[in-house]
Structures are given as C-alpha cells and as structure tokens.
Amino acid sequence: MRKDERQGEIQGMTPQETERVLKGAVDVRVQGMILRRVEQVIAQNAEAIAKLDMHGMEARWERVLAKL
C-alpha cells in the first residue's frame, strides 16, 4: 500500500476520492488565478472599457462581466 493510499484511508476516503478532492482544490486555485488576472486586465483597461460603454456597448459588457 502506498503512503498516499494509507493517508486517504486514515481520512476515511478511498484513493480515488482523495484524488477527486485534490483535483477540485487545484481547480479552485486555478479559477482564482484566472479571476485575479481578468480583474487586472479590466483594471488596466478601465478607460478603454468606459469609452466602449459610451458607444452603446454597456449592456454587452455587463453581460460579459456577469459571466466571469
């Protein structure tokens, strides 16, 4: 029995359950990294985004940002 399998059993989880939980944790970290980058890009381009809003694209940007 491998060490990580023993640890999974100690926690009451099978190795497959442990792997699924770890993958979920990585997914959350990656999503957080992507969100921070998107926020940076939006902040860096706030002036350009504001100009686009003045040309009738405000609703479109709101829909795009709502999906993030």
pTM for this structure?
0.46
Return the structure tokens found at 61: 């940007």
Q: DSSP letters of 20-40?
A: HHHHHHHHHHHHHHHHHHHHH
Range of the domain at 30: 3-67
Return the structure tokens found at 60: 């479109």
- CA separation, residue 27 to residues 32, 42, 52, 61 (Å): 9, 22, 33, 26
Please name the residue that has the structure tokens 């990580």: 4
Q: How many domains does the chain have?
A: 1
pLDDT digits (tens, 9 = 90+) for 13-67: 788 888 888 888 888 888 899 999 999 999 998 888 777 756 666 677 778 888 8
